């Protein structure tokens, strides 16, 4: 036992690279950990310390738990045999859903895949590390999203009453992330429900639609609608819904799914702008306005409608064109000192200053 341990230790020290390879059937780069970490991940932490630690002091001080190397070798071989069996089943599977499920199963416990997913940026879609074309990464991301992002978005949509003020309900199927990618905004993902400065929202947002299901994305098209249900309707002493921006016939892939100015410029002529972007210009002394981004699967149909008026009945629209809501996002806007500049930039008339209402109760 001792001798075999020493031999394996020696082999570990002498070897220039790991001999372990998973049963993967594709050569996607994201199925391998980067060379900097790979040997330490598969063969154990070298005597120089874990490569993931930066400081030399902590590298020297670090020691792995006892017996982890032996246990890992056994576990790796065991899981690899399971993976081979799953790949063999997947090769025979006819149904694409079932095939994706088996391929997920085959790679789910691959330590390199788990390492890549855990320690890399999950929203940037860098196929070197995380490739959402592979069903296993979609599954991992879905779990990750369901644990926090999905719950947060749904909570914000419900507490801010975007549901049911815009659409009756939502069964989230895709992760929607939003960012104002321009010179005025901070280049950061917007947390659902956040109040944004009107300066940041001067130009249209960029929306990321991350699909998780095994779909034929070459055929399916997508629609994005941004509605504001808090526009004051003075004649009727109430609020009404207006559309702030609408895009349709958008096509995405699992990795190329960030609808930003660059992508829109590239896809010029392929998509349809339902109505041009009207930035949030809230009136003074009114409560914060909600801007709800809804994303729909429109199927294979083409939606070539163009609206002239901003007043909008989103429920009717969704029913008319048989859109399937898959995700939503929300931000809020309040009057601030930048509103005047935004109005001037878009040639909008001056806003109304409402009487100040003391207290936090909303106007009814």
Partner 1 sequence: MLTQTTQGSLKQPTLQLLRGLRTKSKNSRVATVSAATQRIITGLSVLSGRKKYPRILKLSNEDLIRHDTIQAAWAQYQRDIRTDRQSVLDKQYDSIINAMEDLKITNMELFKIANKKEKGKRFPLDARIPVDFPPNKVWHYEVKAPAEKK
Residues that bind partner 1 (CB under 8 A): 37, 40-41, 44-45, 50-53, 62, 64-65, 68, 71-72, 74-76, 78-79, 82, 109, 111, 114-115, 118-119
Nearer to partner 1, 116 or 249 (CB): 116
Tell me which residue of 296, 293, 213, 215 sits closest to 250, measured CA to CA.
296
Closest distance of CB 52 from partner 1, Å: 4
**Alpha carbon distance 204, 222 (integer Å):** 17
Angle at CA of residue 107, ends 103 and 108, nearest 5°: 110
Residue 71 φ then ψ, to 5°: -60, -40
Angle at CA of residue 290, ends 237 and 322, nearest 5°: 95
Tell me which residue of 339, 234, 337 sits closest to 279, measured CA to CA.
339
Closest distance of CB 142 from partner 1, Å: 18
Closest distance of CB 112 from partner 1, Å: 9
**Alpha carbon distance 205, 129 (integer Å):** 26
Closest distance of CB 82 from partner 1, Å: 6
Nearer to partner 1, 85 or 348 (CB): 85
Nearer to partner 1, 62 or 189 (CB): 62
Nearer to partner 1, 144 or 340 (CB): 144
Closest distance of CB 9 from partner 1, Å: 16
Report DSSP letters for 306-362, one per residue.
----SB--HHHHHHHTT-EEEEEEEEEE---TTHHHHHHHTTPPPPPBPPP--SSPP
Nearer to partner 1, 115 or 294 (CB): 115
Nearer to partner 1, 73 or 273 (CB): 73
Nearer to partner 1, 65 or 349 (CB): 65
Alpha helix (H) ranges present in the chain? 2-14, 35-43, 56-61, 68-92, 96-107, 111-118, 135-147, 149-159, 162-165, 261-266, 314-320, 339-345
The side-by-side arrangement of strands in the sheet containing 206-210 is 175-179, 206-210, 258-259
Q: Enter the tokens of residue 176.
A: 């929607």
Say if residues 99 and 90 touch (Cβ distance below 8 Å). yes
Nearer to partner 1, 109 or 173 (CB): 109
Q: How many CA atoms lie within 13 A of 267 on its CB side?
A: 20
Closest distance of CB 19 from partner 1, Å: 16
Closest distance of CB 107 from partner 1, Å: 12
Closest distance of CB 24 from partner 1, Å: 15
């Amino acid at each position: 036992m001792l001798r075999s341990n020493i031999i394996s230790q020696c082999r570990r020290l002498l070897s220039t690279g790991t001999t372990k390879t998973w049963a993967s059937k594709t050569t996607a780069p994201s199925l391998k950990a980067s060379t900097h970490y790979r040997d330490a991940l598969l063969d154990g932490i070298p005597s120089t310390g874990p490569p993931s630690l930066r400081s030399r002091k902590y590298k020297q001080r670090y020691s792995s738990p006892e017996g982890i190397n032996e246990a890992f070798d056994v576990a790796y071989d065991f899981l690899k045999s399971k993976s081979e069996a799953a790949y063999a089943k997947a090769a025979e599977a006819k149904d694409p859903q079932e095939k994706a499920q088996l391929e997920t199963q085959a790679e789910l416990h691959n330590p390199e895949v788990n390492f890549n997913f855990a320690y890399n940026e999950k929203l940037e879609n860098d196929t070197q590390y995380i490739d959402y074309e592979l069903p296993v990464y979609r599954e991992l991301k879905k779990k990750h999203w369901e644990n926090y992002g999905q719950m947060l978005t749904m909570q914000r949509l419900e507490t801010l009453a975007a549901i049911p003020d815009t659409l009756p309900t939502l069964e989230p199927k895709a992760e929607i992330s939003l960012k104002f990618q321009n010179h005025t905004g901070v280049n950061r993902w917007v947390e659902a429900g956040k109040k944004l400065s009107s300066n940041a929202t001067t130009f249209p947002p960029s929306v990321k639609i991350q699909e998780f299901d095994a779909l034929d994305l070459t055929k399916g098209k997508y629609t994005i609608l941004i509605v504001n249900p808090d526009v004051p309707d003075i004649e009727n002493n109430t609020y009404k819904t207006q559309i702030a921006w609408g895009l349709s016939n958008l096509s995405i892939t699992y990795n190329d799914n960030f609808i930003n100015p660059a992508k829109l410029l590239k896809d010029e002529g392929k998509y349809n702008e339902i109505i041009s972007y009207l930035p949030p210009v809230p009136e003074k002394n009114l409560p914060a306005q909600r801007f709800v981004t809804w994303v729909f699967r429109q199927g294979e149909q083409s939606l070539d409608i163009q609206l002239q008026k901003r007043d909008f009945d989103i429920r009717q629209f969704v029913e008319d064109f048989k859109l399937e809501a898959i995700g939503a996002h929300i931000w809020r806007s309040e009057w601030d000192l930048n509103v005047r500049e935004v109005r001037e930039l878009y040639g909008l008339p001056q806003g109304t200053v409402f009487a100040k209402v003391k207290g936090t109760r909303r106007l009814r």
